[in-house]
A and B are shown apart, each in its own frame.
Chain A
Amino acid sequence: MALRSVSLPLIHGLLLAAAPISAWAQDHSGMDHDMSGMDLSGQGAPPAMDHSAHVMPDAAVADQPGDATAPPVPVDHPADRFFAPDRMAASRSAMIGEMTFSTFALQVDRLEYRSTKGKDGFGWEGQAWYGGDIDRVVLASEGEGTLGERAERIELAAYWRHALDPWFNLQLGVRHDFRPDPQRTYALVGIEGLAPYWFDVTGQILVSEKGDVHARGKAGYQQRITQSLVVEPEAEVDFAFQGVSALNVGSGFERLELGARLRYDRNRSFAPYVGAHWERKLAGTARLARVSGDDVSGISAVFGVRAMF
């Protein structure tokens, strides 16, 4: 190393000049830390002084740090000399383990009653997860239905959530739709995250076991009116890359959901809300719905709760 070859003659030349300081430093190291009873090897060796010597004579730069190299990272554990090494090893890994965050959480984004012109309905969306900062296993579900009828949509997704950068995560897993009939299982790839201006966004590509391909996009925003009153507009849109006649889905945009919910967020773990929810089938999917006599769109007043455990 160039640095070393330059500094070595300097060190030797200045060791004599530095001798009084060196002696002082030895005293000092003994003074503050009386290691009586410590069995540390090399008791006689003086503390490292040579690297500082070459900056001492010049008072003008006395305060500026030199460019000495860092010592090697030691591999020993001095505590092993005082305590049983196996116990220390266990203690070291316990400390690392204790600082490794991994936990379970249950977040219900919405669980709501929907009041509308026709029969009232219900809807839900939420997730449970287990894991740490970077990797989590997520079980997510959303769905909706009309009271007294078979649920219209019951989705359950299981995926690995992996943090990609400070703001966005990858989703990789499967989604199974128990409704509508016939049931379908999809492979799921998605990106979720926090976009500039604090928008929560999600985009997913879903490929069913039959080979049909769909996409879903979601966006939401939390606007605090006061510290406890939060309005949350949300949008969700589904897109089909092809028609799927068994599911009454036409090619193109399938459905659009818009909602706005006003939440009383005094208690984070249980926040009631009221709002409006509007849903509309689109394009080919809407045509198919009309043919089978189903509603194409509907608006409802919602009453629900957001919860966090």
Chain B
Amino acid sequence: MAGLFPAWARSGTAGIVHANAGSGVLSGDTIALQIGQSHFATGGRSGHAVTVNGTLPAPLLRLREGQTVRIAVTNTLREQSSIHWHGLLVPFQMDGVPGVSFPGIDPGETFTYEFPLTHSGTFWYHSHSGMQEAEGLFGPIVIDPAGPDPLACEREHVLVLSDWSPIHPHEQMRRLKMMSGYFNRQKQDLTGLITGKDQSLADRLAWGQMRMDPADISDVTGSTYSFLVNGHGTAENWTGLFAPGERVRLRVINASSMTNFNFRIPGLPLTVVAADGNPVQPVETDEVQIAIAETYDFIVEPDAEQSYAVIAEALDRSGQVRATLAQSMGLAAPVPPIRGRPLLTMRDMGMDMSGMDMGDGGEIDLSKPANDSMSGHSMKMRDASVAPSVKMGPGVATLSPMPVDRLADRPTGLEDAEHRVLTYADLRSRDPNPDPRAPTREVEVHLTANMERYMWSMDGTAMSENPAPIPFRLGERVRVTLINDTMMPHPIHLHGHFFELVQGEPGHRARKHTVNVLPGGKAAFDLTADGEGDWAFHCHMLLHMHAGMMRVVTVRRDVEEGQG
């Protein structure tokens, strides 16, 4: 097994401060990557994988701000492939999205990417072709700052979180189209009703009347996924070493195709120092939900005497993975029991909470008087007048009637956690935001779906319908408001740009490339459209993107102005 992992990802690694080139860490101005097929096995599951240089995860690219890198990518697959540099600000024609930024890399072809590294941080790379990312084609990128790194620690580890299934993603999609709950083994059942678990009968009837399932938390689940840290399942127990007294920087990347992870190290506070590669004002917390495609840098200070379990738990609690931080190999921290599957609430339907009987953490007791207003609301779960820009049709089952800004909300399933949980409101940029201008206009994008038919779209139109792109003027400052009309969180990623989350006072808002929009809620970001060209803009739940929750974003010089 060890042969399949690059050294930085191998269990018992001393970390990337000490590890260097020749150990699965690729540096320098010229890098060669080869995309190929491998066999992969973990926790009793095995199957076909798509890998880079034969490893899963792919090699760590460790580069330096200010350098220009040439990366030659050779595709030895029998199908087209590509690599997208997730979070790196590169010229659009180097962004690696077939059909948007370049033609893709044909079988047998070598494509050489060349771009300057204009910023530092923790990023990652992955295929943007044929859902190969779900088959293993992803790897981490660490860009060191040109000068000294204020976040430098004595020890650094890279933790790539992923989900891996022996079922090909296209087949997963097919099964979900046959039966949207195909992989969900945690639906509400009669036993639960009798034993008082989950919703009451009144609630079940109220939700059933709307044909909405509060247990529809994740589409592809632990029933087929093995959850991995650096390619290791719980049994393989990836172990990162530390020495007594060290501060340890963890660069955590959620490279999953369909799994948002709840990340925690029981007994060890996490100090968040960067999000999506951008430094934030240090904030201490106990648990962070890392949405797909997000990266977080944490600093932890483990005690000398103990080994620690690093837990990444799937959003729907259908599985988890334990890795270990220890002083020597062979120590395994105990695996905490997996917590119960959360249930969605009215807030996840985009119902306004004001005036309604609401318990702690957004739980609604539908048996209380609020039940009366429920039936009134349920009539309006698909009122086209709340979203005139959405094309109504079979693909839009619900529209959030009263979506609220949920950036300050605890993420799905962590509403009631008894320890500290990071919200986006806790994130403040370390550096001043580069563009102080107010947005000149607002663009609303609805995230739409029919979860029962397994259809996903933006504004009611799937990418397969070849919708018009979302146009921006070069240099303009725009507010993009995402409205989630579905009952699932969607990590929305814009290529080629960072944006500031509209949360808290302007000036030091968190800069990100991916924002997780909570169910039934809204999230807004301000964007300076400074990347001329065409860019992909999509949900990073891979099957949602593939089913249609994607747009092309264009950034062009303003022709009218040129004429004026």
Using an 8 Å CB-CB cutoff, how does the interface string of A63-74 with B read, 1 for contact, 0 for none?
A: 111111111111
Q: Could you tell me the dominant secondary structure of chain A's interface residues?
A: loop
Using an 8 Å CB-CB cutoff, how does the interface string of A38-74 with B read, 1 for contact, 0 for none?
A: 1011100111111110011000011111111111111
Say yes or no: A51 contacts B476, CB within 8 Å. yes
B556 at interface, CB cutoff 8 A = yes
Given contacts A47-B475, A78-B532, A94-B98, contact A100 B464 (CB under 8 A): yes
Of B93, B130, B528, which contacts A98 at CB under 8 A? Answer: B130
Of B93, B103, B173, which contacts A38 at CB under 8 A? Answer: B93
Q: Which residues 64-118 of A have a CB within 8 angstroms of B?
A: 64-74, 76-79, 82-84, 87-88, 90-101, 103, 105, 107
Given contacts A51-B441, A166-B450, contact A99 B469 (CB under 8 A): no
Of A61, A67, A101, which contacts B464 at CB under 8 A? Answer: A101
CA distance A61 to B479 in the complex (A): 14
Say yes or no: A33 contacts B531, CB within 8 Å. yes
A196 at interface, CB cutoff 8 A = yes
B382 at interface, CB cutoff 8 A = yes
Of B471, B478, B528, B548, which contacts A72 at CB under 8 A? Answer: B471
A16 at interface, CB cutoff 8 A = no
Say yes or no: B208 contacts A224, CB within 8 Å. no
| Chain B hits for A268, CB < 8 A | 175, 179, 182
B557 at interface, CB cutoff 8 A = yes
CA distance A34 to B115 in the complex (A): 8
A308 at interface, CB cutoff 8 A = yes
Say yes or no: B530 contacts A73, CB within 8 Å. no
A225 at interface, CB cutoff 8 A = yes
B554 at interface, CB cutoff 8 A = yes
Say yes or no: B471 contacts A74, CB within 8 Å. yes
Of A40, A94, A163, which contacts B99 at CB under 8 A? Answer: A94
| Chain A hits for B472, CB < 8 A | 71
Of B99, B205, B382, which contacts A96 at CB under 8 A? Answer: B99
CA distance A66 to B443 in the complex (A): 11
| Chain B hits for A74, CB < 8 A | 469, 471, 554, 556
Of B208, B469, B560, which contacts A197 at CB under 8 A? Answer: B208
A147 to chain B minimum Cβ distance, whole angstroms, is 32
Given contacts A101-B464, A196-B209, contact A33 B561 (CB under 8 A): no
Say yes or no: B534 contacts A77, CB within 8 Å. yes
| Chain A hits for B464, CB < 8 A | 96-97, 99-101
Q: Which residues 121-154 of A have a CB within 8 angstroms of B?
A: 133-134
B189 at interface, CB cutoff 8 A = yes
CA distance A67 to B439 in the complex (A): 9
A209 at interface, CB cutoff 8 A = no
Using an 8 Å CB-CB cutoff, how does the interface string of B347-369 with A read, 1 for contact, 0 for none?
A: 00000000000000000000000
Q: Which residues 176-200 of B have a CB within 8 angstroms of A?
A: 177-179, 182, 185-191
CA distance A257 to B434 in the complex (A): 70
Say yes or no: A224 contacts B190, CB within 8 Å. yes
A194 at interface, CB cutoff 8 A = yes
| Chain A hits for B382, CB < 8 A | 166
Say yes or no: B396 contacts A166, CB within 8 Å. yes
A32 at interface, CB cutoff 8 A = yes
Of A25, A78, A107, which contacts B178 at CB under 8 A? Answer: A107
A246 at interface, CB cutoff 8 A = no
Say yes or no: A133 contacts B455, CB within 8 Å. yes
CA distance A92 to B464 in the complex (A): 11
B462 at interface, CB cutoff 8 A = yes
> Which of chain B's residues has its CB closest to A42's CB?
B557
> Which of chain B's residues has its CB closest to A49's CB?
B475
Say yes or no: B550 contacts A99, CB within 8 Å. yes
Using an 8 Å CB-CB cutoff, how does the interface string of A157-170 with B read, 1 for contact, 0 for none?
A: 00000011111000
Can you list 29 residue pairs at the A/B interface with Cβ under 8 Å? A29-B474, A29-B530, A33-B530, A35-B532, A36-B116, A38-B93, A45-B558, A47-B473, A48-B475, A48-B557, A48-B561, A52-B476, A63-B506, A65-B479, A71-B473, A78-B532, A79-B92, A79-B534, A82-B102, A94-B80, A94-B98, A98-B130, A101-B464, A105-B177, A133-B394, A134-B394, A166-B395, A166-B452, A223-B190
5 extra A-B contacts, CB within 8 A, seeds A21-B437, A66-B439, A194-B211: A26-B475, A62-B506, A74-B554, A74-B556, A227-B186
Q: Please report A residues at the B interface, Cβ cutoff 8 Å.
A: 21, 25-26, 28-29, 31-38, 40-42, 45-52, 55-56, 61-74, 76-79, 82-84, 87-88, 90-101, 103, 105, 107, 133-134, 163-167, 194, 196-198, 223-227, 268, 308
- For the complex of A and B, the 6 pairs showing the least CB-CB separation, nearest first, are A47-B475, A95-B99, A163-B394, A224-B189, A166-B397, A48-B473
